Structure 1
Amino acid sequence: MSGMVDDLRGKESEITLSDADVSLIASIINATCILGFGVVAVLSEKFGRRLTISILNVPVLVSYIMLYLGQNMVTIVTSRVIVGVCYGGVLMLTYVAMAEYMTPNKRAFYINLISATGPSVGTVLGHVLCLLLHWRTVALIGLIPTGLSALLPLFWIESPSWLASQGRFEECKKVYREIFGKSNASEAQLELLIETEIAKRNEITGNKRNFALIVQKIRSAMKRKYFWKIMILGAIINIYRIAAGRLMFSTLAITMLQELTGSSDILLYTFYVDGFFILGSIFSLFSLSAMKMRPLIFSLGFLGNVTLLVLSASIHFISSDSKYVWTIISLLAFYFITVLTGPYAVLEPYLAEIFPLDIKLYCVLLLSFVVSIASFLAVFLAPLMFATIGYDGVFLLNALIVFLCLGYLWFFMPETKGRTLQEIEYFFKNNKFNDLLETNNEQVIGLL
């Protein structure tokens, strides 16, 4: 993406586009993710987690071929819309599925593996390949991981949480035991999962599964205070993720590095910053294993934001001197290793954990309207903001937004490491944790 955006700004002789056209191409994915979240909610309700991921990856394969062959703006924008709708849904569904397939102690680790480490490696490969190859060739290379993403889920077993939400309890028991074993703790969690879903289904319309039932569930949830608490927390988390800058850097990295260094020969700078990008993602796997979620985000979140303020001041006062180019680049690299090790490692697993199981994807859909618009504007307006208030101003603004988000999270973000999804749901409904496995299940279900 970054290489394509850079070439389309002036190096691509085959297509003539204005800066506004290129900004639209770069940002349209984030706007069309709204549709993707809606599509994945409907398909996943009907076909389950694994088959939906395979279905949605097929159009993404087509979009890469369109990108390779495209000779005008309409074709390129259409390919980007397809990616936004289909891959946007896939991305969110992989987070949701990972939360359902993993034990509480390992959940954050593996969600971070697919939400941070994998994308970081992909981002670096994209940046480097686009510096060495034409962006159309890189689009063809993109067929490989997308093809694997379409194929591999066919070999999974279905999510036990989804099976329970569908009332397929015998299948749920079989699959759950295959994944989590038959220990006393896992059997207690399985019993709680099934009894909770039975209670939810009986509360509304028995065993019917249709659109009216989903609407009824959402309406019921929207009347409760806990629902809005979760939605506001989800919005703040996403604003933090956008303001922290990974999306903007992933999309505009080559252009940003060229303008920050004043050079078009940025291969070494790209290796350096992206190397730290990957290191931060790898370190996050260890940090999640060693630390609780709250200490991790507040310690490294604060450190990363201070680094961003120093970077802003450095760009403002010393960037005109070529002797300090490596200082600027090193600060940018250190910033990304910090935020990827801490804040991003915590926030993305959180988004897979906090929503109630029976309306999880629909909560994501409602939240996505705000998030997708904010993501779209962050990328679409970035070139204009760089031109008007400079990189120093943009980084300063982002740091201020993140500080506000950290303040909110300090008061309203619970510690979820080691908690089951049912325990987390219990917390948001009752403002406290309880040891659900030692509590009578009937009492727990009544509280849920």
Structure 2
Amino acid sequence: MVPPFVKQTWVVLGVLLNMLGQGMVLSYTACLLPSLQAPDSDIKINIHTASWIASCIGIAGFGGFFVSSLLMDTLGRKKAHAIVIIPGIIGWMLIYFARDVTTIVIGRLLGGFAASATVCLGAVVIGEYTSPSNRGMFLNLKTTAVCLGNMVIHVFGHFYHWRTIALIGIVPHAVAFGIIMTWPESPSWLASKNQFEQSEKSFEWLRGTSDKSRKELDELLHAQKGRLEEKPKTPSLRRNVEEFFQKFTRRDFLKPLIIVIFSAMLLENCGRHIFPAYALQIISEVTGSKSNSFYYTLAIDIIITTSAFFSSVLVKLMKRRTLLLGTGFAAYAVLMTVCLYLFVAAKGVISPDRTWIPISIFVLYFILANLGCTPIPLALLGEVFPLPHRGAGSLAAGFIMSIMLLFPLQITPYLLESIKVYGTFFFFGSLMGISLLVLYFILPETKDRTLQEIEDYFNNGRFKEEDNDEVNEKMIKK
């Protein structure tokens, strides 16, 4: 008999391959733009065109998040995940055959659609399919997969033509599609659709029949049966629209949404997508040489991927808040240090020849950032929204994350040209610091909590044992 952990790992592998593909989409401009800007390129671009090629995936994100949130609620997690992969495969094919900028942009838009559609959807799948003890590790591995995708692009971009790399980009999506076809449907989604018998079978296939798993299943079914009793049997379109907008007045929707807003702000402004997209340009400016920029970039990629993987181990040992805030504030301090160093070097106060110093500080920064600032915000997408709000929450989160992605990718080329690397990272670092400060006050601890416990927290403002502790304390005083 196959152990539940192996089955959960198989399910997560499909998500991780999509995340690998997402990393390739995000980093593709690192090899594409320099090639198109080369004098011998058959497709000519300028800096304005380059910024749109890089940032258009943020625009596609609006559609990706909207469609995935709609599909995950209506068709289920499995079918939704399979459907949204297809545009990504088509996008890579269009880029391979492209003969003009328009075709490349369309291909990037389709790739961005698939990448954004699987961000929240992948987090929801991992959150619903895996046990609480494994959920944090699996959610953090999403970031590791994206970092690995970044590295794959930077390595292949050094040796292969950008059209060849577009063909390679199809592989992760195609393999993931095959794995997804073997999944059962999500137990949570089945329960929300009044399919309790199928939900129980799916849950037992994924989690086994231990007492702990049985208790979690009973809590899930009990909560959904109570909720379904309160809903009208055949809600009208008007009622559905009213319910959607009413969510924005509910505590258990608004508080998770605020957490997601500042988590997304932290994720994007810590350089999560900026550095992979413009890695060669950033490293070239810091070192003053283009000849060795590939090797510096590769070394940083390896370190980032390793630290992201190590974060998946740490999240099993440490609390989420401790890991995020501890490494986050440390990363912020290191980033401000490297910005100050590059600034005084640019002004001639110190010698700019010791390029190993800023590179080393950047390495330390990316290690710290990838331990908490990049994986935990993505992990929270699969944890914080209660089941009734998961589709609408994914839609709202997607809209926010698309804006957060579009903004930095769009302005980074202009910032690098006008205020250089030190000014660019100081600007984004300041926003990163604000995000960390807000999360310090509003982020609850979700380690080893079931999704139902987290849902109850956002409804009641506290976890159950906190209520019990308060009651016990009052009884002792009496």
TM-score range, shorter chain: over 0.9
Q: Is the 8 A contact 1:280 1:340 kept in 2?
A: yes
1:11 to partner: Cα distance? 4.9
Aligned to 1:237: 263
Give the structure 2 partner of residue 443 of structure 1: none
Q: Match for 2:191 among 164, 168, 171?
A: 164
Q: What letter matches 1:327 in structure 2?
A: I
Instruction: Indicate how the Cα distance of structure 1 residues 180 and 212 shifts in structure 2: closer, same or farther if over 3 A, else same.
Output: farther
1:50 aligns with 2:78: yes
Write the distance in 2 (CA, Å) between the matches of 1:331 and 1:348: 25
1:340 counterpart residue number? 370
Tell me the distance in 2 between the aligned counterparts of 1:35 and 1:360.
17
Equivalent position of 1:396 in the other structure: 426
| CA contact 1:276–1:334 (8 Å) conserved in 2 | no
Question: Structure 2: how far apart are the matches of 1:361 and 1:62?
Answer: 26
Q: Name the SS for the 1:156 alignment partner.
A: coil
Are 1:419 and 2:449 matched, yes or no?
yes
TM-score (norm. length: structure 2)? 0.87
Aligned residues: 437
Asked if 1:309 is matched to 2:309, the reply is: no
2:185 alignment partner, SS class: coil
Cα offset, 1:435, TM superposition: 4.6
Partners of 2:238 and 2:193 lie apart in 1 by 15
> How far apart, CA to CA, are the structure 1 residues paired with 2:305 and 2:396?
32
**Counterpart-to-counterpart distance in 2, 1:9 and 1:422:** 52
Residues 368 and 154 from structure 1, CA distance in 2 versus in 1: closer, same or farther, beyond 3 angstroms?
same
Give the match's secondary structure for 2:444: coil
1:409 corresponds to which residue? 439
Normalised TM-score (structure 1): 0.93
The aligned residue for residue 124 of structure 1 is 151
1:82 to 87, 110, 114: 110
| Residue matched to 1:4 | 32
Q: 1:139 corresponds to which residue?
A: 166
Tell me which amino acid in the other structure corresponds to 2:109: V
CA distance in 2, matches of 1:336, 1:384: 23
Q: Please give the root-mean-square deviation of Cα atoms over the aligned residues, in Å.
A: 2.0
TM-aligned CA deviation for residue 210 of structure 1: 7.4
Partner of residue 24, structure 1: 52
Aligned-partner SS, 2:111: helix
Instruction: Render the CA deviation track for 1:76-95: whole Å, top value 9, x for unaligned.
Output: 11111111222310232111
Task: Give the drift of 1:103.
Answer: 1.1
Q: Deviations over 1:3-50 (max 9, x none)?
A: 112222335611111211110010010121111011112222232112
Of the structure 1 ranges 197-206 and 34-43, higher mean CA displacement relative to structure 2 is found in 197-206
- Name the counterpart of 2:61: 33
1:305 to partner: Cα distance: 0.7
Percent of aligned positions with the same letter in both sequences?
28
SS of residue in 1 equivalent to 2:363: helix
Give the direction of change, closer, same or farther, for the CA distance of 1:65–1:18 in structure 2 (3 Å limit): same
Task: Give CA-to-partner distance per residue, 1:84-134, whole Å, 9 cap, x none.
Answer: 2223102321111001011112111101112x1111111001011111211
Query: 1: distance between equivalents of 2:88 and 2:327?
Result: 35
Partner of 1:329: 359
Aligned to 1:372: 402
In the alignment, what sits opposite 1:446? none
Q: CA–CA distance in 1 between the matches of 2:121 and 2:440? A: 27
Deviations 1:54-94 (A, max 9, x none): 22212211111110110111101111111122231023211
* Structure 2 counterparts to residues 165-204 of structure 1, below 5 A: 165-204=192-231
SS in 2 for 1:324: coil
Contact kept, 8 Å, 1:294 with 1:414, in 2: the verdict is yes
Q: What's the offset of the Cα at 1:223?
A: 2.5
Moved more, 380-389 or 12-21: 12-21
Of residues 296, 300, 318, the one that matches 1:269 is 296
Kindly provide the amino acid, as one letter, of the partner of residue 118 in structure 2: V
- Opposite residue 72 of structure 1, the aligned amino acid is D
1:96 aligns with 2:124: yes
CA contact (8 A) 2:328 2:368 kept: yes
CA distance in 2, matches of 1:10, 1:374: 30
1:110 is aligned to 2:138: yes
Identify the residue that residue 259 of structure 1 maps to in structure 2.
Answer: 285
Deviations 1:199-245 (A, max 9, x none): 22222213x47755643432332222332222111101100101111
What residue is the counterpart of 2:246 in the other structure? 220
Residues in 1 aligned to 2:247 and 2:385: alpha-carbon distance in whole angstroms: 11
What amino acid does structure 2 have at the position aligned with 1:403? G
Look up the match of 1:295.
322
Answer whether contact 1:318 1:324 (CA < 8 A) is retained.
no
**Comparing 22-31 and 318-327, the one that deviates more:** 318-327
Q: Secondary structure at the match of 2:361?
A: helix
Aligned CA distance change for structure 1 residues 209 and 331 (closer, same or farther; 3 Å): farther
1:441 matched residue in structure 2: none
Q: Which runs of 5+ in 2 are unaligned?
A: 1-27, 469-478
Q: Separation in 2 of the partners of 1:283 and 1:204?
A: 44
Q: Using the TM superposition, give the Cα deviation of residue 148 of structure 1 relative to its aligned residue in structure 2, in angstroms.
A: 0.8
Q: Which residue of 2 aligns with 1:71?
A: 99
Secondary structure in 1 aligned to 2:353? helix
Residue range with higher mean Cα deviation, 89-98 or 39-48: 39-48
* Contiguous gaps of at least 5 residues in structure 1: 439-448
Contact 1:293 1:346 in 2 (8 A): yes
Separation (CA, whole Å) in 2 of partners of 1:244 and 1:198: 42
Q: Give the Cα–Cα distance (whole angstroms) in 2 for the partners of residues 435 and 178 of structure 1.
A: 29
Residues 328, 373 of structure 2: 8 Å contact kept: yes
What residue is the counterpart of 1:445 in the other structure? Answer: none
